[in-house]
Amino acid sequence: MDGVLVIDKPKDYTSFDVVAKVRKLTKEKKIGHTGTLDPLATGVLVLLLGNSAKSQIFMEEHKKEYVAELLLGAITDTQDITGNVIKEVKSNVSKEEFEDSIKDFIGDVYQIPPMYSAIKKNGKKLYELAREGKEVEREKRKIKIYNIDLLDYNREKQMATIKVLCSKGTYIRTLCEDIGNKLGCGGVMTQLRRTRTDGFSLKESITVQDLEKICNEGNIEEKLLKTEALFDNLESVNVTKPQAIRFTNGGGLMLSRVKKINNLKTCKALRIYYDNTFLGLGEIDNEKEEIRVLRIFNNRIN
C-alpha cells in the first residue's frame, strides 16, 4: 500500500501513537511521517505509507502554519502548560502592547531549542537529559517567521491566540515563551494546532476515528493520496516512451531531447511523467546537459 495519508492528530496522542494506530488499521508495516507533533498538539500529521516512506529526503521545505494559545505571566520547564511551573508573574499586558511585541518576531529569528525536545546532544536526546534533571547548553538555531496574526486577546485572563506562519524547525512553545519574556512576564503555550505543513492542510486530513470507519469498510484507497502529491510544488516534464524506459532503467535524459518548459535549467528537481503516469523525480545536471534520476517511483511502462 503506497501513498500519503493526512491525519488530524488528536490531543494526548504522540505522533508514534498515531503511526502505530494507522499501521494496525491499514496492515501496512512501512509508515513514516514528515514531522512530529507534541502530545499536547493537534492537527496536520502527514504519514507516508509503503514506498512513499522513502520520499521524505526528496521533499522541498514548505512553510508551516499553526494556531497557538498562550498564557502570559508564567514560565514552565517544558514551555507549555503540561510542565512544572518555574515562575509566576503578575501581568497586565494590553492588547496593543501584545500586538507591538509580536511584530519583532517576524523575519529571521534565532531560537534556543527547548530541553524537552528530540534534538540530540552527544548522542542523547535532550528530553532524556531533561528527565534526568540535567540542562545542557544548546546552540541557537536560525528559523524564519513569515507572519504572526493575533486572532484573539483576553486582557483579563492574559490569554492570546495567534496564527503563525513559519519555517521548518520552529518551536512554537519557545516562541510563546520568548514573546512573554519580551513583555517582561514570561509565557506558556496552552494549546497548539497545526493547520498546514508540507503542502497539506486540514482540508485533506481525516480523524483517526474516521480512518477506523473507512478501513473497516475497506475504502482506505479513497483517502490515500498519491505519492506525487508530495511534490506538487515542483515543475514537471512529459517524456516519450523510449525516454521513459531509459529513465526507469536509471539512465539520464538529454535536455535537448526533453520537451521544453519555462526555466528548465534553473529547476532543482522535476517530476517526470509518461502518458499521465508519474514515473519519479529527476534532477537537472547543467554540466552534462541532462536530467539524471533522483528517485524512481514507478517502473511499469505500458
- Which residue among the candidates 8, 12, 17, 38 is catalytic per the annotation? 38
- Residues forming a β-bridge with 236: 271
| Per-residue burial over 174-209, b = 16 or more CB atoms within 10 Å of its CB, e = otherwise | bbbbbbbeebebbbbbbbbbbbbbbbbebebbbebe
- The C-alpha atoms of residue 100 and residue 299 are separated, in whole angstroms, by 55
Q: How many angstroms separate the CA atoms of 96 and 79, rounded?
A: 24
Domain of residue 116: give its range. 64-197
User: How sure is the predictor about 188, in pLDDT bands with cuts at 50, 70 and 90?
Assistant: very high
Judgement on whether residues 87 and 145 belong to the same structural domain of the protein: yes
In a domain, 302, yes or no: no
User: Do 187 and 80 belong to one domain?
Assistant: yes
CATH no. for residue 73?
3.30.2350.10
Please check whether residues 216 and 256 belong to one and the same domain: no
Does one domain contain both 129 and 180?
yes
Amino acid in position 200: F
Same domain, 53 and 112: no
Torsion of CA 33, 37, 42, 46, to 10 degrees: -10
Q: Write down which residue in 148, 176, 197 finishes a domain.
A: 197
> What's the pLDDT at 249?
92
Q: Check pLDDT > 90 for residue 207.
A: yes
168 and 204 housed in the same domain:
no
Q: Name which of 37, 241, 68, 46 is nearest 150 in CA terms.
A: 68
Residue 212 sits in the same domain as residue 92: no
Lowest mean pLDDT among 73-77, 197-201, 297-301: 297-301
| 69 residue type, one letter | E
Q: Is the pLDDT of residue 266 over 60?
A: no
Task: Evaluate whether residue 247 is within a structural domain.
Answer: yes
Hunting for cell 484573539 — which residue is that? 152
Distances (CA, A) of 9 to 26, 42, 54, 205: 17, 5, 22, 9
Give me the number of domains the chain comprises: 3
- CATH number of 269's domain: 2.30.130.10
pLDDT of 259 reads 65
pTM value is: 0.87
- Per DSSP, helices labelled H in the chain are 15-26, 95-103, 126-131, 172-182, 208-216, 241-248
Residues 161 and 243 in one domain: no
pLDDT at residue 285 tops 80: yes
Residue 75 shares a structural domain with residue 189: yes
Q: What is the pLDDT of residue 264?
A: 57
Least confident of 31-40, 266-275, 289-298: 266-275
- Residue 86 included in any domain: yes
For the question of residue 232 being annotated catalytic, the response is: no
User: Residue 176: pLDDT band by 50, 70, 90 thresholds?
Assistant: very high
Q: How many CA atoms lie within 13 A of 161 on its CB side?
A: 7
Say if residue 261's pLDDT is above 60.
no
Distance CA 198, CA 171 (A): 16
Residue 236 has pLDDT above 60, yes or no: yes
**218 within a domain of the structure (yes/no):** yes
Residues 55, 203, single domain; the answer is: yes
CA dist 199 and 60 (Å) reads 10
Same domain, 156 and 249: no
Same domain, 193 and 203: no
- Please report whether residue 301 resides in a domain: no
Neighbours of 24 (CB within 10 A): 11
pLDDT tens-digit series, residues 68-98: 999 999 999 999 999 999 999 999 999 999 9
